[in-house]
């Protein structure tokens, strides 16, 4: 998983676990330029809420104070980094833990295996990554089957029929992730629907309720969240026991049983994969098809690559690395959509960025959404242009941010694989068309998601 970059949820998680609500004795975070706390108890929390999202708050913060800036959450000083150079300086000495997994588990109240030292952390991380990789290898035909069912459904639509991307692609992600993570029990649509209900309840509160404090102020919402979390955990534990008794070795949970993890740890890893895997896979696919629908030229170029490399054959795992332009399309989707606009970690040891000293245990924000649309790093940053990734400088910057290369988190690799199967199947059979007059608004919380349902139309390729 990314050591520093995937999911804005990492910020929220650190918030919940680390905020001390003590009034700061210093008015600046180690002398780093930034905002004074506007409230004795909450620091700059209300400023974040007023901006509408943490991402929008960070955009304004870095516009005013530069690429290294500070603010307060409660009594805790926070440092935000808003350029590739500063992020590179900070991450290189701080690769010892996995911020996303550690902090997501902290928010969920999971403590098992979190204090066992660096070696145990690395072993568990490798087990988790290996489980996802093996699951994709063992179940790639299932991914292809689920995608082909969706494309077949779209082919049956009249040319003028409006197709809802969010509804269909979240369904695709749910079916794919649950079956690959937990097995054939989730071939049953009623199981998937029940899973989705609890998944949505948990994820929506992680994304919103913890950030603005509203969850703690509503006993009914908190009760709903805790009930959904309890039900989800019960389902995951039940599935794990069933799979262990059956001694199967085909899906994610089966691979975990081959390690020395406890039953509780296996349930926790299943929770992380299913929560994160569904959301990032769905939104990567949603944004990719939306952007493709806006450019016939990009669709045609992708179609030609698919024809040249795949011909009439379905895509296979060994052919995916050859689809260079498809990779560029997905990279540019992540960048243009600011798919994961914010991440964070706690400073483990005293560090330094430029001339600024960052004390141990400081909360450090990675303002990825700011960096992904920084005009100093990307030419015409608001334009969807997959060709930009033909340039070595663009690929290097993307890799430094953790969105490609060896440091890419396994959930994002999983999402790229599903999205590649979707694009390679869909684009060879259908053309995508944007609806006239549709305006896309983005909700930048944990993952950049369309605020409302996104519609396109499709037509058969002649």
The pLDDT of 201-217, averaged and rounded, is: 71
| Binding site as annotated, residues | 409
The pLDDT of residue 142: 97
Q: Please enumerate in sequence order all residues whose Cβ is within 8 A of that of 64, keeping only pairs 6 or more positions apart, or say none.
A: none
Which phi and psi angles does 20 have, rounded to 5°? -105, -20
Cα–Cα distance for residue pair 58/79, rounded to 1 Å: 11
Could you tell me if 196 and 323 lie in one domain?
A: yes
Residue 442: both structure tokens together: 């983005």
Give 290-320 pLDDT, tens digit per residue. Answer: 999 999 999 999 999 999 999 999 999 999 9
The pLDDT of residue 30: 59
Given pLDDT bands bounded at 50, 70 and 90, which one contains residue 61?
A: very high
Give 93-147 pLDDT, tens digit per residue. Answer: 545 444 455 556 666 777 654 455 567 777 888 899 999 999 999 999 999 999 9
Give 238-254 pLDDT, tens digit per residue. Answer: 999 999 998 888 999 99
Could you tell me if 110 and 123 lie in one domain?
A: no
Cα–Cα distance for residue pair 189/88, rounded to 1 Å: 44
The pLDDT of residue 347: 80
Q: What is the CATH number of the domain that holds 256?
A: 1.10.630.10
The last residue of a domain, from among 320, 347, 372? 372
Could you tell me if 262 and 347 lie in one domain?
A: no
* Full residue range of the structural domain in which residue 357 is found: 1-115+339-372
Could you tell me if 135 and 191 lie in one domain?
A: yes
To the nearest whole number, what is the mean pLDDT of the chain?
A: 86
Is the pLDDT at 327 greater than 80? The verdict is yes
Name the strand (E) or helix (H) holding 238. helix 219-246
Cα–Cα distance for residue pair 345/80, rounded to 1 Å: 11
**Number of structural domains found in the chain:** 2
Could you tell me if 331 and 183 lie in one domain?
A: yes
| Binding site as annotated, residues for heme | 409
Q: Quote the pTM value.
A: 0.90
Is the pLDDT at 414 greater than 80? The verdict is yes
Q: Please enumerate in sequence order all residues whose Cβ is within 8 A of that of 280, keeping only pairs 6 or more positions apart, or say none.
A: 6, 7, 339, 340, 411, 412, 415, 447
DSSP per-residue codes, 124-136: HHHHHHHHHHHHH
């Amino acid at each position: 998983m990314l050591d520093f970059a995937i999911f804005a949820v990492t910020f929220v998680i650190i918030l919940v676990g680390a905020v001390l609500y003590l009034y700061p004795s210093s008015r600046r975070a180690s002398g780093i330029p930034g905002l004074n706390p506007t409230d004795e108890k909450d620091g700059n929390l209300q400023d974040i809420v007023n901006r509408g999202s943490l991402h929008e708050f960070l955009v304004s913060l870095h516009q005013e104070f530069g690429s290294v800036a500070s603010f307060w959450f409660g009594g805790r000083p926070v440092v935000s980094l808003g350029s590739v150079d500063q992020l590179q300086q900070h991450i290189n000495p701080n690769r010892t833990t996995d911020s996303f997994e550690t902090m997501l588990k902290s928010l969920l109240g999971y403590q098992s295996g979190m204090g066992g030292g660096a070696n145990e952390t690395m072993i568990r991380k490798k087990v988790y990554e290996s489980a996802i990789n093996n699951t994709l290898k063992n179940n790639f035909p299932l991914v292809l089957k689920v995608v082909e069912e969706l494309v077949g459904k779209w082919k049956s639509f009249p040319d003028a029929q409006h197709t809802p991307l969010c509804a269909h692609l979240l369904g695709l992600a749910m079916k794919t992730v649950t079956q690959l993570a937990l097995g054939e029990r989730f071939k049953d649509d009623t199981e998937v629907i029940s899973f989705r209900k609890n998944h949505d309840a948990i994820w929506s509160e992680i994304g919103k309720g913890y950030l603005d404090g509203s969850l703690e102020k509503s006993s009914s919402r908190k009760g709903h969240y805790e009930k959904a979390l309890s039900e989800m955990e019960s389902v995951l534990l039940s599935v794990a026991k069933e799979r262990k008794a059956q001694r199967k070795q085909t899906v994610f949970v089966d691979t975990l049983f081959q390690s020395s993890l406890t039953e509780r740890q296996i349930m926790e890893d299943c929770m992380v994969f299913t929560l994160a895997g569904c959301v990032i896979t769905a939104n990567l696919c949603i944004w990719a098809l939306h952007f493709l629908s806006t450019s016939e030229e990009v669709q045609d170029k992708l179609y030609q690559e698919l024809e040249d490399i795949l011909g009439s054959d379905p895509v296979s795992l060994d052919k995916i690395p050859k689809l260079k332009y498809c990779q560029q399309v997905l990279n540019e989707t992540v960048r243009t959509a600011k798919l994961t606009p914010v991440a964070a970690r706690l400073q483990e040891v005293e560090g330094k960025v430029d001339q600024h000293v960052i004390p141990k245990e400081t909360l450090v924000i990675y303002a990825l959404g700011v960096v992904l649309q920084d005009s100093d790093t990307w030419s015409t940053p608001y334009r969807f242009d997959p060709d930009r990734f033909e340039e070595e400088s663009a690929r290097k910057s993307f890799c430094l941010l953790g969105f490609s290369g060896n440091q890419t988190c396994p959930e994002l690799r999983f999402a790229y694989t599903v999205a590649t199967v979707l694009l390679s199947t869909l684009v060879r059979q259908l053309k995508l068309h944007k609806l006239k007059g549709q305006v896309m608004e983005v909700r930048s919380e944990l993952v950049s998601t369309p605020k409302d349902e996104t519609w396109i139309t499709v037509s058969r390729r002649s």
